Amino acid sequence: MTVLTSLSLPARIYKAAHLTGHFSLRLGGTSNEFFDNFRFLADPVLLHDIAEAMVPLLPPEAEVLAGPELAGVPLTTMLSQLTGLPTVWVRKEAKTYGTCRLAEGADISGRQVVMMEPMIKTGQFGLNICKQLREVGAEVNYALCVIDWERGAPALLESHGIQERALFTYKEVAEAGQNS
């Protein structure tokens, strides 16, 4: 279901993705709140508007967009549609059959690849993806995200020569959503 377009973009993201209830967390423990990025990625109007707002974040030297499975795939696909840049989808690990590739889609060898994620928390997952892309020949100097959770990701990525560019911080999204 499409979130009301009369709200600001961060408020729309919050309204689509913020859930309350009882949730088990990946790193252990539970929470009565959960932020489900698949909820804003699955809304075609909201996803289009997010990708459109991200276009100016792309560095001019970008040649290929890289989206980690699973959440990075719709975001990079939509941004590819808006910019004409080819896309590569990055597996958690290279498959052991067929092409045996880690990254499927465009050729990335020697090209400027921008890694894209819906949300970056600590930056460790994105850093691992960037390192893997570098190992197969890509030049990766930028990581773009819709939401930075402000848990130290920019500093971690920067220490490896990767600049993070975030559309919003989680605080901006939460404040906009709670105030709408």
- State if pTM tops 0.75: yes
Mean pLDDT of 93-104: 81
> Is the four-CA dihedral 73, 49, 33, 151 of positive or negative sign?
positive
The domain limits of the chain are 43-178
Instruction: Note the pLDDT tens digit of each residue in 63-92.
Output: 999 999 999 999 999 999 999 999 999 988
Whole-angstrom distance, CA of residue 118 vs CA of residue 49: 13
More reliable by pLDDT, 25 or 72: 72
Q: What is the pLDDT confidence band of residue 109, given thresholds at 50, 70 and 90?
A: very high
Can you give the pLDDT at residue 5? 65
Instruction: Note the pLDDT tens digit of each residue in 167-179.
Output: 999 999 999 999 9
Q: What is the pLDDT confidence band of residue 2, given thresholds at 50, 70 and 90?
A: very low
Can you give the pLDDT at residue 128? 95
Whole-angstrom distance, CA of residue 2 vs CA of residue 16: 8
- The CATH number assigned to the domain with range 43-178 reads 3.40.50.2020
Can you give the pLDDT at residue 6? 76
67 forms bridges with which residues in the sheet?
89
Percent of the chain with pLDDT over 70: 97
Mean pLDDT of 36-62: 97
Mean pLDDT of 122-128: 94
Peptide bond into 70 cis (omega under 30): yes
